[in-house]
């Protein structure tokens, strides 16, 4: 499973890159607005340090403007994936951009029917939002499972990019279901390494090492 980092924070991206934990990056206007940076400049900088896909989202709602924005974003770098919402205008834009060989990430997916439409429109990635479904007492992981089944049934090449990841458990469950990608904030990816038994075991080792006076260097 690929790890995409859901942030526009350059330092956090570089930190996870050093561990080999960054296969791509997802951004959206809200994330970039919080950073206080120019959307085009920060996207360009991210693309320069990350080899994998970098999702950059359009802000228009109509097809014509969406397409113009998407084409502008795609010119930033070869690894841009233009992010469009799962609306009919977004699907139309997805079809046009995909036909031109531009990667497209169709976002704000909340149903298997929507995911099926995105695949038919040629989406590179479909982004089902797990956490937001959980927030309204629906099973976000069940949606990932449903999409996996449909895509496997018909051989769709659209990659399932599980989004709105809230915790480390979401990551492991998506991996078991077979999501192609999970995009998560840096703190969630870091939390995957945490386990109380690891901490306890290491504390015990260190106590024994100190007691025995063991040194390597």
In a domain, 217, yes or no: no
Residues classed as catalytic: 83
The Cα 27–Cα 38 span in angstroms is 13
For 108-120, b where at least 16 C-beta lie within 10 A, e where not — what string? Answer: bbbebebbbbbbe
The Cα 35–Cα 42 span in angstroms is 9
164: tokens are: 């709105």
- Contact indicator for 123, 92 with CB cutoff of 8 Å: no
Domain span at residue 157? Answer: 2-212
**pLDDT tens digits for 70-128?**
999 999 999 999 999 999 999 999 999 999 999 999 999 999 999 999 999 999 999 99
**pLDDT tens digits for 25-77?**
998 877 787 777 788 999 999 999 999 999 999 999 999 999 999 999 999 99
**Is residue 153's pLDDT more than 90?**
yes
- Contact indicator for 25, 48 with CB cutoff of 8 Å: no
- How many domains does the chain divide into? 1
In a domain, 10, yes or no: yes
CATH number of the domain where residue 167 is located: 3.20.20.70
In a domain, 127, yes or no: yes
The Cα 20–Cα 22 span in angstroms is 6
Token pair 């090492």 is at which residue? 209
Cβ-based burial of 208 (10 A; exposed 0-12, middle 13-18, buried ≥19): exposed
The Cα 65–Cα 70 span in angstroms is 8
- Contact indicator for 79, 51 with CB cutoff of 8 Å: yes
In a domain, 111, yes or no: yes
- Contact indicator for 94, 123 with CB cutoff of 8 Å: yes
In a domain, 139, yes or no: yes
């Amino acid at each position: 499973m690929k790890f995409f980092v859901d942030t526009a924070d350059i330092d956090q991206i570089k930190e996870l890159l050093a561990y080999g934990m960054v296969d791509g990056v997802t951004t959206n206007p809200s994330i970039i607005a919080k950073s206080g940076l120019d959307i085009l400049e920060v996207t360009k900088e991210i693309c320069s340090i990350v080899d994998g896909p970098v999702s950059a989202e359009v802000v228009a709602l109509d097809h014509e403007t969406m397409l113009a924005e998407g084409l502008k974003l795609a010119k930033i770098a070869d690894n841009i994936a233009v992010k469009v919402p799962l609306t009919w205008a977004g699907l139309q834009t997805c079809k046009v951009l995909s036909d031109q060989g531009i990667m497209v990430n169709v976002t704000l997916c909340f149903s298997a029917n929507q995911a099926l439409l995105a695949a038919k429109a040629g989406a590179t990635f479909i982004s089902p939002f797990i956490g937001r479904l959980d927030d309204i007492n629906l099973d976000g992981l069940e949606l990932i499972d449903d999409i996996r089944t449909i895509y496997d049934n018909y051989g769709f090449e659209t990659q399932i990019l599980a989004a709105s990841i809230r915790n480390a458990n979401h990551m492991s469950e998506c991996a078991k279901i077979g999501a192609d990608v999970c995009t998560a904030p840096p703190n969630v990816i870091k939390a995957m390494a945490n386990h109380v038994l690891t901490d306890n075991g290491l504390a015990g080792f260190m106590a024994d090492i100190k007691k025995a006076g063991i040194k390597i260097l």
